[in-house]
Structure 1
Amino acid sequence: MHDLAEKLAELLTAKGVYEKVLVDNVTGECAVLVAKRGATLHLIALSTHNDWVYAKIALSDAVPLRAWSCSNIFYTPYGLYAFAHTLDELADKIAGKQDRLEAQARILEEALRSGASLE
């Protein structure tokens, strides 16, 4: 899993999707990547099933720091999923979701400013 995560991190930076991507936490079946795009941090939970590779991309502000694990990222109601057969295809699908993630970031920022809680 660590090799897959490193390869996805390289693809996401090479394609210009993110400025920097770090592999943060790797278990046998899943990896958490932290990706920087402008002033925003995204969490990417990466996993595989059969011949599929998939990811859940969430805003770091939507997941409490103590909960930056695959299971918490996958189960948070915030964020978007991407499914593919190759890492290159997955990187392209993640790139295609950036506008929606930015919209979620604006909504989340407004909610937090108004005093709403995420929990």
Structure 2
Amino acid sequence: MGKRFNLKDLRFNPRPPPVKGGREFSRDYYEAFYKIEDVFSHYVLGNIDFDHAVKSLNYARYAIIPKLGYPKDVKEELLRVYDEAVKLLYRLRSRDKVKEWLLSNGPPREAKVKSLTDFM
């Protein structure tokens, strides 16, 4: 079986959901994966510092993901990709390098702004 989660799928998000309470991991395991993108994007935007970014990833990795009801193989893959993300963050370190890396994976995420016609 191939990798379900790949850091190369992450891109810069100019309007990421909040770091705290933004993604609902219980809804879908891809929510847990895209939390990495949110943390990286918040770091790039200057909303959080380096230590906060690392702590957020480690909190998800050690305190949240192991307790979720995901299948064992999904949890193992998420833990692997979170480990890779922390190592990548330490390697890149600067906001500019993290942004450059995110943008190398593709254009920034489109903002999901709803218009009045979306509700009609």
TM-score, normalising length: structure 2 = 0.31
Higher RCO (CA-CA < 8 Å; seq separation 6+): 2
Between structures 1 and 2, the one with greater helix share: 2
Q: Say which one has the larger Rg.
A: 2
Between structures 1 and 2, the one with greater strand share: 1
TM-score, normalising length: structure 1 = 0.31
